[in-house]
A and B are shown apart, each in its own frame.
Chain A
Amino acid sequence: MQDKNRSSRKSMLNLENLTHSKGFSAFTAALLAVALGLIFGFIVMLVASPGNALQGFNYVLLGGFSRFGNVLYFATPILMTGLAVGFAFKMGLFNIGASGQYTMGMFFALYVGFMWDLPPGIHWIVAIFAGMLGGMLWGFIPGIFKALLNVNEVITSIMFNYIGMYLVDMWIQSNAVIYVSSKSRTNYLPSTVQIPSLGIDGSNVNFGILFAVIIGIILFIVLQKTTFGYELKATGFNKHASAYAGMKGKRNIILTMVIAGGLAGLGGAFAILAPSAIAGSSMTYEPISIIAANGFNGIAVALLGSSNPIGIIFSSIFISHIQRGGSLANLVGFKPEIIDVVIAVIIYFSAFAMIMKAGLAKFIKTRLKKQDHSKGLNEDVTKGES
């Protein structure tokens, strides 16, 4: 009897250890933010058209499951931009420039795809690496500005989002091979540069998602097990202490931004080199002077995954899932933009979800304690009576 009691207490303790761990706490905070965002979206749907709200919301929540291949397909670029934002965030850098790095990477991949003549087996691999290079370049510049001139990386990367977007649009529009001016979009890439499909019926999912997940796992290992990862996190926690300990802050800043840029650039390459639903065609890009949305969605993904590479893998799939669901909600008359609103609300709340959750936990705990206390009192009373 006693043994049983002890073991149950032991398992309770284990549970407590688990619930007090940092990852769990971040997870529940993210869940809270997601719940609030979804509730907000549901309210917007209710206001917009009460009759269809329930069905539309059902599509948002569950619609993605029926097209899981496409969910993975659209998760690939935001997984990469999410890693780009999250990795820099570990060092205390806010890489809002993932959009520009993504666009640059996409252009470099496009350029190699169209202008270089390479054997079929390696053409797409070279194009992917070109994309990485383009992103690295666009991450390198804010890194230099931050490390050597102490210019805030947020402003630099915002400016370079615009510069990159204008540059890429101009380069594409002035290149007759890449650009189809009659359709105001880029041409279909030759099939030798398209990333091989995974061959799942009814979706365009390709090897990109596998690469992205592998890169996420590698980053996790780098952050947890290497000196560089340790220095990075230490600098993120306390810049001055890490400098005092002899870590080269400037070099690490530049390196981090270059890696982050490369990740976002890979995202651009994975997105543009992917085969699309029409046989033999690929994804295209329209140069219409708009900053790439995938970069900003990467911020949402990174925050939701609390900047942990493994968390980011799951959060990118989740964001992609509700995006697919949102486009399905179109069937009952809801515009897919509702998902963008939901995502923004999720970020807003996840910015202070930790504090909110702490408040909530405290509230529940005090309630429980009160209940325990009153229960105890009651027991005493009944004991006394008997």
Chain B
Amino acid sequence: MDTFYYLIQNMLPVAIPLLLVALGGMFSERSGVINIALEGIMLFGAFFGALFVYAIQGTGINGQWVLIMGMFVAGLAGFIYSLLLSFAAVTMKADQTITGTSLNMMIPAAILLFAKMFFSSDGITTNMKFYIRKIPFLGDIPILGQLFFQKTYLTVMIGLFFLVIAVIIFYKTRFGLRLRACGEHPHAADSVGINVYFMRYAGVGLSGILGGIGGFFYSVGVTDGNVNGHTGVAGFGFLALAVMIFGQWKPIRILFAALFFAFLRTLAYSVALIPFLNDLGINQTYYKMMPYIATMVVLAFTSKKSRAPKAEGIPYDKSQR
């Protein structure tokens, strides 16, 4: 039972960045823009979040408040970076995949450049403690308390809160409906007076905010508040894309997909602690490959009835009918 608790407690801080970034990707793609730059946006947000934490960590402010403030900084940073994508993809009608790739390439190099110049290291190291041993009252609930409110990070609760907001925006507001229309049939949306360019900027912007926050939460929950230019966010942005496709561009399914991927990853890194798996004697690398192989298997089976937004990847041009 302890192993089970351990797995869940370790899985949630990993699942939350995946969830948030995949939700961001969902907003972007449902508005019609393929966002392959999620990896870069995550790293950009994580970098500025960590820079903020680094600047503020000497002042003695409570770690949880620092986390919330850092989250806003990271979200803003991600938003600004995503503007580069929306400018190229929406205004300039450039190829969205290529632009995204260039944005992904830019950030690790920029971080290495910056960190080598000012910290003479490969990244930013902070020593803020975000870890929560046990939340008062809630942590005392039997089983549930141990699963969700002990040995965790504040990011888990914030992430689930964001999920609720995302579902409401996506399905219950006029904005959400219009956004989805722009991803399916932009010309129809335009004909009833929706500003497609604005909606696409909004979709990419939301993905920037969520991507930035997701990146910061990754650095909090997985790498202990540090950001490194070499390892970056270890392909989490790409995994989030897979989570989004696995979740068929729908928020609740994305939650389950994120949990599934996070579980596989946690399992890969804790094989030694699980007697059953350890006895099998399989190389740990195979477990590390599991999330990627699972993606391929899932894609192979679901591609025939894929619910991808119809107009994604096609720049909107008013004059083309």
A interface residues, Cβ below 8 angstroms from B: 44, 48, 94, 96, 145, 149-151, 154-156, 158-160, 162-163, 166-167, 169-170, 174, 289-291, 296, 299-300, 303, 335, 337-338, 340-341, 343-345, 347-348, 350-352, 355-356
Most central of A154, A303, A345 by chain B CB within 10 Å? A154
- Check if A347 sits within 8 Å of B98, measured CB to CB: yes
Q: How far is the CA of A300 from the CA of B98 in the complex (A)?
A: 9
The A/B interface has a contact count, at CB < 8 Å, of 121
| A345 surroundings in chain B (CB, below 8 A) | 102, 106
Sample (25) of A-B pairs whose CB atoms are under 8 Å apart: A48-B113, A145-B296, A145-B299, A154-B97, A158-B238, A159-B242, A159-B293, A159-B296, A162-B292, A170-B285, A290-B231, A296-B101, A299-B98, A338-B113, A340-B105, A340-B106, A340-B112, A341-B106, A341-B109, A344-B102, A347-B98, A348-B106, A351-B95, A352-B88, A355-B94
Q: Is the pair A347, B292 in contact by a Cβ cutoff of 8 Å?
A: no
Is B304 an interface residue when CB atoms closer than 8 A count as contact?
A: yes
Task: Select the residue from A162, A343, A345, A351 with max chain B CB neighbours within 10 A.
Answer: A351
A208, B111: Cα distance in complex, Å: 33
Is B289's CB within 8 Å of the partner chain A? yes
| In contact, A156 and B102 (Cβ under 8 angstroms) | no
With both beta carbons as reference points, the residue of chain B lying nearest to A170 in the complex is identified as B285
Residues in chain B within 8 A of chain A (CB atoms) = 36, 84, 88, 92-95, 97-99, 101-103, 105-106, 108-110, 112-113, 116-117, 229-231, 235, 238, 241-242, 245, 283, 285, 288-289, 292-293, 295-296, 299-300, 303-304
> Contacts A163-B289, A166-B288; is A351 near B242 (CB within 8 Å)?
no
Say how far A238's CB is from chain B's closest CB, in angstroms: 14
Q: Which of B108, B116, B235 contacts A335 (CB 8 A)?
A: B116
Question: Does the CB pair A337–B112 fall under 8 Å?
Answer: yes
Residue of B nearest to A158 (CB): B238
Q: Are B102 and A335 in contact (CB under 8 A)?
A: no
Is there contact, CB below 8 Å, between B300 and A48? no
Q: Evaluate contact between B103 and A348: CB separation under 8 angstroms.
A: yes
For B93, the closest partner residue in chain A by CB is A355
Alpha-carbon distance A20/B233, docked complex (angstroms): 45
In the complex, which of the residues A48, A154, A166, A355 contacts B285, with contact meaning CB atoms closer than 8 Å? A166
For the complex formed, measure the closest distance between the CB of B153 and the CB atoms of chain A, giving whole angstroms. 24
**B289-A166 in contact (CB<8A):** yes
Known A-B contacts A155-B242, A162-B289; the reply to A149 vs B300 at CB < 8 A is: yes
B95 contacts which chain A residues (CB < 8 A)?
351
CB pair B289–A155 under 8 Å, yes or no, is no
CB distance from A97 to the nearest CB of B (A): 12
Q: Smallest Cβ distance from B101 to chain A, in angstroms?
A: 6
How far is A269 from B263 in the complex, measured between Cα atoms in Å? 37
Closest Cβ–Cβ distance, residue A288 to chain B (whole Å): 8
Question: A94-B98, A159-B238, A351-B95 known; 11 other A-B pairs, CB under 8 Å?
Answer: A155-B295, A162-B235, A337-B109, A337-B110, A337-B116, A345-B102, A347-B105, A348-B88, A351-B88, A351-B92, A351-B94
